[in-house]
Amino acid sequence: MTDVNAQLSFTHTVTERFLRYAVIDTQSDPASPTCPSTEKQKDLGRLLVRELQEMGVGDAHVDPHGYVYATIPANTDKHVPVICFCSHMDTSPDCSGKDVKPQVVKNYRGGDILLPADPAQMIRIADNPALKDQIGNDIITTDGTTLLGADNKAGLAEIMDAAYYLINNSQLKHGTIKILFTPDEEIGRGVDKVDLKKLAADFAYTVDGETAGNIEDESFSADGVTITIQGVSAHPGFAKGKMEHAIKIAARIIEGLPKDASPETTEGRQGFLHPIGIEGALEQTTLGFIVRDFADEGLKAKEDLLENIVQQVMQDFPHSSYRIEIKQQYRNMKQVIDRHPEIVDYAMEAIRRAGLTPNKASIRGGTDGSRLSFMGLPCPNIFAGEHAFHSRTEWVSVQDMEAAVRTIVHLAMIWEERA
Ligand SMILES: [Zn+2]
């Protein structure tokens, strides 16, 4: 076990890999109807496949939808569950990912980090308390003009490096390991075209978490709600006692929302009710909401509350009507993952063996893993080390990436050991 850590501490290839992937523009585009949403994501996919094939992973390929699949064959006689490691190749549409120029700040001494091309984009310790745990580490940032894309290219580099290590150290026993790299995660379509039959894995881990040592087995449960209000139109000069203005009804509904259940007033395990769009005129107005909670009952309670507010408001508008539509978006993956406690237990043990303190956490959002879990592939999220993602102040440390590589290697071995 210590041998693995010692040996891995002399390979710094994860950083080289990361820097190679970070400069390839893979921004996804929510307005595009195609899959992948941007063809350039395949540039990175093809590079990853080439590198996998050079390692000897013969079946590595990019499919027409931009997904990368690969298999590291088992090197044990034991019957071990097939484990998949998964990361996404795209970067967020919220911030440019073109011409990324990474810098490595060696032996970080504390304090704010200057970004050379834009002094306004300093990485401030006040906004990044996690920097306090990085003293003496090497921190990778951009020049301040783009995002870094450690979300999720750190994960790609870590999985690739772990694969390289496993393949070149046949004395380390493991079952069949699957690799899955997805496009378009940032626009919510990361698993739309995944072929789980072809992947043929029993359990999976996304490597897309923040702080080193974290494992996340819980995500939000999420619904979208649309409320359509039908008002009563009349000529404004002769509207007294007749007009019922749909925009004004909508405004009353928004005003009635609980102040303590919105994104800007909640954290931790609290859910929220959040208007995301309004569109309309006098006669008809449509309101869009997203509803989030860790418990399905909490989700239902928030939706009931919303409908109550609507009914209350509508009492003052007797000739108007409303329609409410609720659409399921995704569910808390814990419901699925808890049926197989070993998935998280082994990950916690792997994190420990990698020399870190494991920390079980929940995600205030969804991941590819939330949807994969409900598609039949239970999939918690382990740390990749990415911080301040989707921004120009994004950063990742070399040492956290190396810790993630160790974690993946140990995890593969633990599944074999316990089989
Ligand atoms: Zn991500």
87 alpha carbon – ligand 1 mean position (Å)? 8
Distance 392 CA to ligand 1 centre (A): 15
Distance (Å) of CA 270 to CA 147, 262, 290, 298: 29, 9, 14, 9
Q: What whole-number distance in Å separates Cα of residue 22 and Cα of residue 148?
A: 7
CA of 185 to the centre of ligand 1 (A): 7
What span, in angstroms and rounded, lies between the C-alpha atoms of 391 and 119? 15
Catalytic site residue from 158, 161, 184, 185: 185
**What pLDDT does 365 receive?**
86
10-24, 126-140, 381-395: segment of lowest average pLDDT: 10-24
Interval between CA 88 and ligand 1 midpoint (Å): 7
Q: Could you tell me which residues are beta bridge partners of residue 103?
A: 141
pLDDT value for 329: 87
Q: Is-contact 22 100, C-beta < 8 A?
A: yes
Task: Give the per-residue pLDDT at 368.
Answer: 87
pLDDT of residue 7: 65
Measure 150 CA to ligand 1 centroid, in angstroms.
Answer: 8
Give the pLDDT confidence score for residue 12 in this predicted structure: 62
Is residue 11 scored above 90 in pLDDT?
no
Strands lying side by side in the sheet with 359-363: 61-62, 68-72, 177-182, 83-88, 203-209, 381-383, 214-219, 359-363
Q: Can you tell me the mean pLDDT for 148-168? A: 97
- pLDDT of residue 4 exceeding 90: no
Instruction: Please tell me the distance from the alpha carbon of residue 64 to that of residue 61, in angstroms, as a whole number.
Output: 10
Indicate if the pLDDT at residue 228 is higher than 70: yes
90 is catalytic: yes
Q: What is the pLDDT of residue 8?
A: 64
Q: Which helix (H) or strand (E) holds 272?
A: strand 272-280
Containing H/E element for 274?
strand 272-280
Alpha carbon of 259 to ligand 1 centroid (Å): 29
- Using the mean position of ligand 1's atoms as its centre, give its distance from the Cα of residue 104 in Å: 21
- Taking only Cα atoms into account, the Rg of the chain, rounded to an integer number of angstroms, comes to 24
C-alpha of residue 4 to centroid of ligand 1, in Å: 28
Average pLDDT over residues 33-41: 97
Residue 171 pLDDT class (50, 70, 90 cuts): very high
* Distance, CA of 69 to CA of 246 (rounded, Å): 51
Distance 222 CA to ligand 1 centre (A): 18
Residue 259 has pLDDT above 60, yes or no: yes
Query: Of 90, 216, 293, 368, which is the active-site residue?
Result: 90
The mean predicted confidence, pLDDT, of the chain is 95
Q: pLDDT (tens digit, 9 = 90+) per residue, 281-316? A: 999 999 999 999 999 999 999 999 999 999 999 999
Chain-centroid distance, C-alpha 369? 8
Calculate how far, in angstroms, residue 92's C-alpha sits from the geometric centre of ligand 1. 8
- DSSP secondary structure string, 141-206? E--SSS---HHHHHHHHHHHHHHHHHHT-TTS----EEEEEES-GGGT-TTTT--HHHH--SEEEE
C-alpha 152 to ligand 1 mean position (Å): 5
**Residue 262 contacts by C-beta under 8 Å, 6 or more apart in sequence?**
272, 273, 274
CA 284/CA 307 separation, integer angstroms: 18
CA 106 to chain centre: 28
Residue 208 CA to ligand 1 centre (angstroms) = 5
Q: Which pLDDT belongs to residue 159?
A: 98
